[in-house]
Amino acid sequence: MLSVTLGPGLLSQVFDGLQNPLEVIAGKHGFFLPRGIDVFPLDQRKKWLFTPSVSIGDKVEAGQAIGSVPEGRFNHKIMVPFDLKGTAEITRILEGNFTVEEPIAHIKTSKGEERELALAQRWPVRRPVPEKMLKSRVVKRVYPYEPLTTTTRIIDTFFPIARGGTACIPGPFGAGKTVLQNLISRYSHIDIVIIVACGERAGEVVETITEFPNMPDPLTGGVLMDRTIIICNTSSMPVAARESSIYTGVTLGEYYRQMGYQVLLIADSTSRWAQAMRETSGRMEEIPGEEGFPAYLDSSIKNIYERAGVIKTSDNTEGSLTMIGTVSPAGGNFEEPVTQATLGTVKTFLGLSSGRAYKRFYPAIDPLISWSRYLDQLKPWFDKNINADWVNEVKMMHEMLHRGEAIYQMMQVTGEEGITIEDYIDWQKATIVDMVFLQQDAFDDVDVTVSSERQQESFALMKKLIIQDYKFKDKDECQEFFTKITGLYKNFNYSPVDAPAYKNYKQEITALSDKYLSI
């Protein structure tokens, strides 16, 4: 079974699905990978400063920290091997500078076996890291209870993803999956990002590994790569590497979660991974299921997403692994097996539509087909941290959008003249929610990332505009009004919170809408 090496020095690396470090390989062999090479994933010469946190005679359990080394700005916990059964006693513990393979401690298990520990340990990728520790209750699973802040309005407000939860982003080619996953990994409030880039063409992956790493990290001022690991594969890599890439990524994610970090894993696109699985299955002459995928496609997808979650360790640190996968169904047909199996597993569905992408309504998440189970599941959190009406208000706003669409469809048949002014106003209201709240400008320095507080403030302003009753002479006046408000609102979105313009636009919006109040 394929195993990975877990230890300091994983961050900022680019690996293939078998954890070969691609930069090292490129340095040795050039850019065309020779067959069958196997390179140690971590730097074998680098010395890490190890500071122990246990002493001789201490009793330890699987996953418990025995000390740490600084890895960039992270405190990398060195943990007792995850497969240890029962408790063991520390019989030797060192302090100082060590490579990842040198011994730093000895333990004696309850059965009297001696084991030597190094900074790095190995783990089979198909087995969840906490599996045994959950059984022996060394770690506990905690139900995801708070949202992950992505700073993308349509996600955080309408279709939230829980910290430690799961989401999928299906969408046809060119709908903006990769751009969205880059935005999410760049701006989400998390410690560590793992990107599993499964590309059709090598070019898709090249963008991710050349542009992404050098981007500034909005949370720390460093570069993003300092807190990122990329697992990358293209169609030209061996099928085994392509198939294992997601498992490798998840295992690395579970490793940092075990240290108490908030980890985000993004897999783009899981369809390529499923294709690798189909190839392997075909070669093994297994009985194919739907569209040639193996019959276990469903359970394989479930097994992967089930490894997301919040974990509490015995020393009460809490870490999380949130998983987001994009799916690229051929022709944008969501009925195909990979999309369907994924939809049956994840709790947030952010469906991209080519129609919205064509109109350049970005992010092209279609509010009429998307959903999030977390809106209800995290209600206690929203009640406590925003307000007790939040979830209902979001649902009301969501219904508005559906109503707007229904009116729009009607107008397609009857023309603008065929509908009442009341319906016309409702359609305009739904449109403005879309234009200034659901859409977000990734090319504007301010609008690209919106804090939760600002989203809530904007939502309150939006709500005020929506629930008001207006009086207009005719549809032209109504249209003129909403066009003006939309313009002001966009400028409001582009203004930094601390700039005078922010307050001014807000006041202008309120003043203008008050002029047309029906009393």
List interacting residues with ligand ADP (CB under 6 A).
171, 173-179, 362-363, 442
Report the alpha-carbon distance of residue 494 to residue 108 in Å, rounded: 61
* 234: contact with Mg ion by CB under 5 A: no
The one segment of 107-115, 169-177, 386-394, 506-514 that binds Mg ion by CB under 5 A: 169-177
Asked if 88 and 110 touch (Cβ cutoff 8 Å), the reply is yes
User: In terms of CB distance, is 20 or 271 closer to Mg ion?
Assistant: 271
CA 152 – CA 10 distance, rounded (Å)? 28
* 173 interface partner picked from ligand ADP, Mg ion, none, CB below 5 to 8 A per type: ligand ADP
Q: How far is the CB of 357 from ligand ADP (least distance, A)?
A: 6
Q: How far is the CB of 150 from Mg ion (least distance, A)?
A: 18
Applying CB under 5 A, which part among 107-115, 177-185, 213-221, 410-418 lies near Mg ion?
177-185
DSSP string, 20-65: -BHHHHHHHH-SSPPTT----SS-SS--EEEEE---TT-EE-TT-E
Residue 422, Cβ neighbours under 10 Å: how many? 11
Write out the H or E segment, with its range, that includes residue 217.
Answer: none
Which is nearer to Mg ion, 141 or 201 (by Cβ)?
201
Neighbouring-strand partners of residue 318: 312
Q: What CA–CA distance (Å, rounded) separates 231 from 374?
A: 28
Cβ of residue 221: shortest distance to ligand ADP, in angstroms?
24
Smallest CA-to-CA distance from 308 within 170, 168, 179, 212 is with 168
Sorted by sequence, the CB contacts under 8 Å of residue 500 that are 6+ apart come out as: none
Q: Of 129 and 357, which has the nearer Cβ to ligand ADP?
A: 357
Any idea what DSSP says for residue 310? E
Provide Rg for the chain, Cα atoms: 26
**Closest approach of Cβ 125 to Mg ion, in Å?**
24
| One of 13, 152, 178, 353 touching Mg ion (CB under 5 A) | 178
What the block records as the tokens of 172 is 């046809």
Q: Which residues is 50 bridged to in the sheet?
A: 96
Contact flags string 126-165 toward Mg ion, x per CB under 5 A: ----------------------------------------
Instruction: Tell me which of Mg ion, ligand ADP, none is bound by residue 171, counting a contact when its beta carbon lies within the kind-specific cut-off of 5 to 8 angstroms.
Output: ligand ADP
Cis link prior to 269 (omega < 30° from 0)? yes
Q: Is the dihedral of CA 135, 139, 144, 149 positive or negative?
A: negative
CB closer to Mg ion out of 349 and 502: 349
Alpha-helical runs (H) found in 415-449:
421-433
Nearer to ligand ADP, 117 or 154 (CB): 154
In whole angstroms, the minimum distance from the beta carbon of 180 to ligand ADP comes to 6
Closest to ligand ADP by CB, 177 vs 278, is 177
Q: Which is nearer to Mg ion, 178 or 372 (CB)?
A: 178
Q: How near is the Cβ of 425 to ligand ADP at its closest, in Å?
A: 29
Binding site for Mg ion (CB under 5 A): 177-178
